[in-house]
């Protein structure tokens, strides 16, 4: 699972032009080498294979090209004067706009420590010099396929999260055991700020405690735990444990879906749909919540007798004779109008 998504960076004119060309020419490759002969050999081989190719002859130029064009993969010479390939890789990986780009090192250094340094700097692979174009193409293809899948999954995940937000559902992913919030939708950020006064990567203590309590059983038995409800006046935030989204040796990740529920909105909907007065709808709402006439009187600032009178008028309007029947009609209607409502 990736970290919190970085802000979307506007594409440069160069990047837009190259992306338009890619429709016909395939993936965009940045080759970085200070030896012209190496550049020529690789450029010709990649060009013949349908790739769109950019070149850079030093580290500074490589960083510039990568920031402007956002290549799909970088072929990077390890040893160059000035900024060497190791430092270029570290800077690319430190920049949110280029961190996702796979880097294949090209090196004449075969000592283990140099190859380890290449991978530690952010490389996904390496090829040794003298360069063999067929080997480079084969290695590139593997990593480009992986990058395409990652982009597609990220795009689909983004669409799913945006769809949830559009329907009033917010979502977050929390990593256990450390309890860090690693991504969230825009709506989730707003809701957690209002209800819990926290910001990512902090997970609200109440949410983290609930998750830690129920995640083991959810993992072992696949049972969805009770929702967590955080009340705030007439509104409340309901959180459900949706599913486990990732697991590795260091921990696991859980997706939580939340939705804001408003007592006021439910009462207004009941009033309109069941043709009740606002006070009758309020009384019926608290009946659904299991409150007695005494409780309802205290909540509404009236007497139990007044609550009873309102409820009797509700019976007539709904065509029922008992408290249970009235609650049943109301629950059915609420589920039709507010399916996310927690009873």
- Span 130-169, pLDDT tens digits: 888 888 998 888 888 877 777 666 555 555 555 555 445 6
Average pLDDT over residues 114-130: 84
Indicate whether 34 belongs to any domain.
yes
Tally of domains within the chain: 3
Cα gap 186→208, rounded to integer Å:
20
The reply to whether 114 and 220 lie within a common domain is: no
Q: Tell me, yes or no, whether 216 and 244 share the same domain.
A: yes
**Domain limits at 216?**
168-262
pLDDT at 12 over 60: no
CB 169 within 8 Å of CB 259: yes
Q: Residue 100: pLDDT above 80?
A: yes
Same domain, 86 and 142: yes
- 1 inside domain: no
**C-beta neighbour count of 13 within 10 angstroms:** 8
Instruction: Tell me: do 305 and 220 sit in the same domain.
Output: no
Nearest to 266 by CA among 324, 197, 215, 342: 342
Confidence check: pLDDT of 1 > 70: no
Q: Give the domain CATH number at 142.
A: 3.40.50.2300
3-state secondary structure of 290: coil
Picking from 27-31, 53-57, 216-220, which range would have the lowest pLDDT averaged per residue?
Answer: 216-220
CA nearest to 258, candidates 332, 320, 196: 196
Question: Mean pLDDT lowest for which of 20-34, 53-67, 202-216, 294-308?
Answer: 20-34
Q: What is the distance between the alpha carbons of residues 214 and 283, in angstroms, rounded to a whole number?
A: 34
CA distance 190 to 200: 11
In-domain check, residue 205: yes
- Cβ–Cβ under 8 Å, residues 291 and 323: no
The CA-atom distances, in angstroms, between 255 and each of 1, 159, 164 are: 11, 15, 12
């Amino acid at each position: 699972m990736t970290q919190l998504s970085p802000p979307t960076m506007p594409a440069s004119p160069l990047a837009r032009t190259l992306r338009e060309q890619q429709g016909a020419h395939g993936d965009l490759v940045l080759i970085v080498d200070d030896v012209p002969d190496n550049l020529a050999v690789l450029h010709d081989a990649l060009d013949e294979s349908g790739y769109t190719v950019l070149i850079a002859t030093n580290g500074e130029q490589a960083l510039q090209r990568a920031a402007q064009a956002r290549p799909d993969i970088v072929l990077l010479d390890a040893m160059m004067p000035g900024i060497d390939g190791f430092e270029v890789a570290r800077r690319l990986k430190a920049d949110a706009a280029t961190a996702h780009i796979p880097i294949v090192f090209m090196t004449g250094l075969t000592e283990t420590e140099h190859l380890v340094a290449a991978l530690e700097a952010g490389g996904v692979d390496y090829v040794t010099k003298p360069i063999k174009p067929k080997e480079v193409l084969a290695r590139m293809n593997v990593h480009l396929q992986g990058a395409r899948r990652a982009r597609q999954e990220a795009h689909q995940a983004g669409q799913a999260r945006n769809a949830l937000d559009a329907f009033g559902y917010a979502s977050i992913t929390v990593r256990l055991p450390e309890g860090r919030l690693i991504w969230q939708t825009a709506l989730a950020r707003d809701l957690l700020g209002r209800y819990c006064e926290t910001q990512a990567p902090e997970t609200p203590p109440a949410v983290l405690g609930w998750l830690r309590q129920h995640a083991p059983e959810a993992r072992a038995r696949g049972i969805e735990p009770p929702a967590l409800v955080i009340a705030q006046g007439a509104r409340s935030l309901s959180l459900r444990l949706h599913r486990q989204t990732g697991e590795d040796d260091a921990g696991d990740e859980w997706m939580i879906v939340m939705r804001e529920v408003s007592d006021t909105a439910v009462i207004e909907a009941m009033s309109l749909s069941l043709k009740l007065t606002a006070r009758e709808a309020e009384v019926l709402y608290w009946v659904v919540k299991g409150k007695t006439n005494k409780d309802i009187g205290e909540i509404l600032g009236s007497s139990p007798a007044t609550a009873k009178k309102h409820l009797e008028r509700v019976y007539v309007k709904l065509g029922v004779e008992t408290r249970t029947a009235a609650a049943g009609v109301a629950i059915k209607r609420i589920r039709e109008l507010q399916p996310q409502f927690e009873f």
